[in-house]
Amino acid sequence: MELPESVTITEVGPRDGLQNEARILPLERKIELIDKLSQTGLKRIEAASFVHPKAIPQMANAIEVMKGITRAPGITYIGLVPNERGARDAIGSGVDEIATIASASEAHNKANVNRTIAETLEGIRDVATIVDEAGLRWSGYISTAFGCPYEGEVDPDVVIEIASKLRDYGASAISLGDTIGIGNPRQVEALVARCLDEVSGPELRLHFHDTRGLALANVMAAMNAGAKAFDGSVGGAGGCPYAPGASGNVATEDMVHMLHAVGVETGVDVDRLAEAAWLAEEILERELDGRYKRTLDRD
Amino acid sequence: MELPESVTITEVGPRDGLQNEARILPLERKIELIDKLSQTGLKRIEAASFVHPKAIPQMANAIEVMKGITRAPGITYIGLVPNERGARDAIGSGVDEIATIASASEAHNKANVNRTIAETLEGIRDVATIVDEAGLRWSGYISTAFGCPYEGEVDPDVVIEIASKLRDYGASAISLGDTIGIGNPRQVEALVARCLDEVSGPELRLHFHDTRGLALANVMAAMNAGAKAFDGSVGGAGGCPYAPGASGNVATEDMVHMLHAVGVETGVDVDRLAEAAWLAEEILERELDGRYKRTLDRD
């Protein structure tokens, strides 16, 4: 088992988590959750999505969220953007970094943004120009990188091709998304190895959903293949509104607990993260899937 | 990643699963669940525990359970026994194989059976004599092999020592139990490698609880170290009545789904197993933690 000394965690709960919750949160509760996450040792928090509120009402008030949070020093606050308008809003709101998104399957990309993959990539290139001018870094998610709810298997060649384009456009990082939690450790090991080999330059991140309980096994497999950056959602909140049967991202605190247990540093305080997961449960008024928090006494 | 072509699954839901459920099931429902499991392709089912019903009321009617089930050809039905009386009852009831149990930590062994580990091992030796005379095989569980709810860390040397004694007494298999789901992939890899190296002879099984969501990652790590046999509990039912904070075993259907996904054969029909998990939920009147079943349409 080859493991890195440390990995970087990107907390995506306030974005990928909240956007698929049935409950639409008031502005102040989103801010409260992000502020709580800022006290856990996390260095990267995806705080908002600058989509049109008609498309994803859960993500309304993105600008106000960014203006309202109490920024902790050393934390990169990230905003997801669907297009140039979103990029301008995000930059204007003060985000430190931009995230873009494309799917590795046409059907999912169509469902997600009603465009072809090629059109989406062209849009990302335009966004990249704006972000470059603002002097910020940007990353690219590749959704359905391990399987699609509509098309089934996804060709790894397509994933590599999209990743290469994102690299060519200047992405500082690429996050391979297992949107519907269908990836398995053998597949993850193979795709991570290929990406690191064929798409050098951008940092490779892995973004696992835990639909079939495989997320932590996939994190181990990805590390064994050389990956050093992972996305998680506090408590395991989230999913994908356009991916039937998808459940939340891997619970960040479960992942951090495992990483520490196997001797991989994250810089995150797992018990503070569990407290943030409890806050998320309180705000969302439902029990979240994360396991680690259930083992703690809650004072 | 070094994976075996196939692994053997032992379904322990009717025993380790049910014994920790708050609900005490009527005889006919236990039989119904075992009969359902017998139609899934599973070749090994731990069907009952021959403990005193005052100790674990959930396990009452063990003899009647064994008499009442419809045996499917080729399936080994196993009974857990705490002592010689239990062994005689189990053999008389028609079990095909006996399971015994000792803990790797004194405090857990004391809480579990109110004896020292040494006394428990002497008892297992006496049970072994009876089982040998009956011409049956027997296995030994080692509970808390990866950590103890009372003592914390467990010395791997103690696990190896107990495993060696069980081997010397004639165990056909040894199942290392992560009773409280505290083991991690690095630890699992190391202990499996040591066991296979130092305790050759009996088959090595791994028995993971999923308390912190690590069970499937641990299965992968164990296979990578050479293990080829795993215990699971349908739906993820179960736990340990004497281990605070423990939750159920890994859901057998989640494990089977993962094994098939990575190309390891089990001989089990994962969708029939999911149907058995739904039956378990119906009988237990609660949702079980297994993830795979949630991705299926239930007709």
B192 in a domain, yes or no?
A: yes
**Residue A104 and residue A148 in contact, taking contact as beta carbons nearer than 8 Å:** yes
CB contact under 8 A, A216 and B221: no
A144 in a domain, yes or no?
A: yes
CB contact under 8 A, A261 and B294: no
- Provide the pLDDT for residue B241: 52
pLDDT digits (tens, 9 = 90+) for B141-181: 999 999 999 999 999 999 999 999 999 999 999 999 999 99
Q: Quick one: what percent of chain B has pLDDT higher than 70?
A: 97
Is A2 or B37 the better-scoring residue by pLDDT? B37
Quote the minimal CA–CA distance from A42 to chain B in Å: 21
pLDDT digits (tens, 9 = 90+) for A158-185: 999 999 999 999 999 999 999 999 999 9
A3 in a domain, yes or no?
A: no
**Distance separating alpha carbons of residues B230 and B204, to the nearest angstrom:** 9
- Provide the pLDDT for residue A21: 84
CB contact under 8 A, A217 and B292: no
- Provide the pLDDT for residue A126: 98
HSE toward the beta carbon, residue A279, CA cutoff 13 A: 22
- Provide the pLDDT for residue A242: 56
Other beta carbons less than 10 A from residue B24's beta carbon? 12
Show which of residues 151-170 on chain B sit within 8 Å of chain A, judged by CB atoms: none
- The tokens describing B171, both together, are 């165990």
The ipTM of this complex is: 0.95
A2 in a domain, yes or no?
A: no
Show which of residues 162-221 on chain B sit within 8 Å of chain A, judged by CB atoms: 184-187, 189, 210-214, 216-217, 219-221
* Chain A CA closest to residue B183: A261
* Chain A CA closest to residue B189: A1
CB contact under 8 A, A295 and B211: yes
**Per-residue DSSP letter, B213:** S
Q: Which whole number is the average pLDDT over B188-217? A: 97
| pTM flag (> 0.90) | yes
CB contact under 8 A, A258 and B210: no
3-state secondary structure A186-237: HHHHHHHHHHHHHCCCCEEEEEEECCCCCHHHHHHHHHHCCCCEEEEEHHHC
- The radius of gyration of chain A's CA atoms, rounded to the nearest angstrom, is 17
B1 in a domain, yes or no?
A: no
Name beta bridge partners: B46: B78
Q: Is A247 exposed, middle or buried (0-12, 13-18, 19+ CB in 10 A)?
A: buried
Quote the minimal CA–CA distance from B247 to chain A in Å: 9
Quote the minimal CA–CA distance from A240 to chain B in Å: 14
Phi and psi for B208 in degrees, rounded to 5?
-100, 135
pLDDT digits (tens, 9 = 90+) for A1-50: 899 999 999 999 999 999 888 888 999 999 999 999 999 999 999 999 99
Q: Which residues of A are catalytic?
A: 240
B251 in a domain, yes or no?
A: yes
Return the CATH number at A38.
3.20.20.70
CB contact under 8 A, A263 and B186: yes
- Chain A residues touching residue B251 (CB < 8 angstroms): 213
- Provide the pLDDT for residue A243: 54
Domain housing A99:
8-295
Structural domains of chain A, count: 1
* Chain A CA closest to residue B209: A291
Is B215 or B113 the better-scoring residue by pLDDT? B215
- The tokens describing B184, both together, are 């991690």
A130 in a domain, yes or no?
A: yes
**Per-residue DSSP letter, A293:** G
* Poorest-pLDDT segment among A120-129, A222-231, B283-292: B283-292
Q: Which stretches of chain A are assigned E, i.e. beta strand?
A: 8-11, 44-49, 76-80, 97-103, 137-143, 173-178, 203-208, 229-232
Whether the CB of A288 is below 8 Å from some CB of chain B: the reply is no
B156 in a domain, yes or no?
A: yes
* Cα–Cα separations (whole angstroms), residue B291 to A241, B200, B255: 19, 35, 10
When scoring A146, A192, A216 by the number of chain B Cβ atoms within 10 A, the one with the most, hence best to mutate, is A216
- Provide the pLDDT for residue A211: 94
Q: What region does A93 belong to: left with phi over 0, alpha with psi -120 to 50, or beta? A: alpha
CB contact under 8 A, A184 and B294: no
CB contact under 8 A, A212 and B291: yes
**Distance separating alpha carbons of residues A185 and B253, to the nearest angstrom:** 17
Check whether A246 has a pLDDT greater than 70. Answer: no
Average per-residue pLDDT for chain A: 95
How big is the CA angle at A32 (ends A241 and A210), to the nearest 5 degrees?
Answer: 35
**Residue B122 and residue B168 in contact, taking contact as beta carbons nearer than 8 Å:** no
Average per-residue pLDDT for chain B: 95
Check whether A124 has a pLDDT greater than 70. Answer: yes
- Chain B residues touching residue A184 (CB < 8 angstroms): 258, 261-262
- Chain B residues touching residue A220 (CB < 8 angstroms): 185, 217, 220-221
- Provide the pLDDT for residue A112: 87
How many residues belong to chain B?
A: 299
pLDDT confidence bin for A210, thresholds 50/70/90? very high
Quote the minimal CA–CA distance from A85 to chain B in Å: 36
SS3 B60: coil
When scoring B240, B265, B273, B291 by the number of chain A Cβ atoms within 10 A, the one with the most, hence best to mutate, is B291
Check whether A72 has a pLDDT greater than 80. Answer: yes
Q: Which whole number is the average pLDDT over B79-86? A: 97
CB contact under 8 A, A262 and B220: no
